[in-house]
Structure 1
Amino acid sequence: MSGPRVGVLALQGDTREHFAALREAGADACTVRRRSELDAVDALVIPGGESTAISLLLREFGLLEPLRERLAAGLPAYGSCAGMILLASEILDAGAPGREATPLAGIDMTVRRNAFGRQVDSFEDDIDFRGLDGPAHAVFIRAPWVERVGPDVEVLARSGDHIVAVRQGRVLATAFHPEITGDRRVHKLFVDMVCAR
């Protein structure tokens, strides 16, 4: 018996790594580039990458409004790094006018892009992550952080004083990249969330 059909938004970013992690976590992973592919999935992963580029491509591929509609209708989703930014209801430092990152409003939160700094400021940290057995090794690459969460948002992890993992209902987001560490627990947590619908 196969797992849930989980799409990975394959417009820009680290699609391949999420695809492999989802398969190892028990999902039937597929790529999403078209409306018909989005309509066929049980859940969606929005990968890390460049949030302004992903926003632009969502518009160009005609996926922005359909994705917003599916999220509003309860589509389970997981976003890492740029995916976290896009799942926010509000984005600070969203980018240049006309090319800014576009919020999808999957989670009631305010996220600051590149909050930890530039590429040279990337770092790794072992963090306590609610719902995982033991700490998670987190890789932060030009990472965001969460500055505000709504009343229905559960904070799952912090790095220092900054919120770096959240969940609201069936939507999960991390500021870091578990897909590149070999630790599949975050992806397994997401697949379990999808299966629990």
Structure 2
Amino acid sequence: MTSIGELFPKCRKLAYDARQQVAQVQQGVVSATDLYVLLEELSRQLNAMEELVYRETPVQRDVWNRKIAELRHECTLLHQQGTQAAHSASRYRNPYGQERDELLRRRRRRGNESDVQDLSQESSSLEQSQNMVFGLIDQGQASLNGLIEQRQRLRGVNRMVFDIGNRLGLSQSTMKIIERRDITDAYLVAGGMIVTILVIYFVWF
């Protein structure tokens, strides 16, 4: 049965070959797939070593665990370096890749600036609309206050007319006509107030 001492040199050889292939991937000599296959084999061998390490003595077990950890860390670094090398080689083989990426970045920046301008214009438009609504509400409030003042004045005038009529001895029918006119004026004032409130409601909501 294979021992951990026999697997360790094999793992070191796989790590050495992987380091060589990283440079070859960057040069475009070999593909990154070959490197990944080699690193996968190294990872399997390290897993086998971890299973065998428990058969060693406690002192030797600590030594082997450190060696396995170092090789596994190197395997991870080689995988990252291989990925970067493959990316660099791909960009080198495609001289228009960098220019294309730069154009895409510029387009994104322009798109972001356009979005900011649209949001700014929308905010300004909403602010203008809000100011117009507030202006209409103020006008409606002023009209309502004017109607209330007119109503109060009409009440005072009606009292004066009744007093004068009583003093002059006006007929009962004439007084009733004046009262009906007073009621009609009250309806007109109430109707005007309701219309004003409805206009304010529909404009605001």
- TM-score with structure 2 length normalisation? 0.17
Max radius of gyration: which structure? Answer: 2
More helix by share: 2
Answer 1 or 2: which has greater strand percent. 1
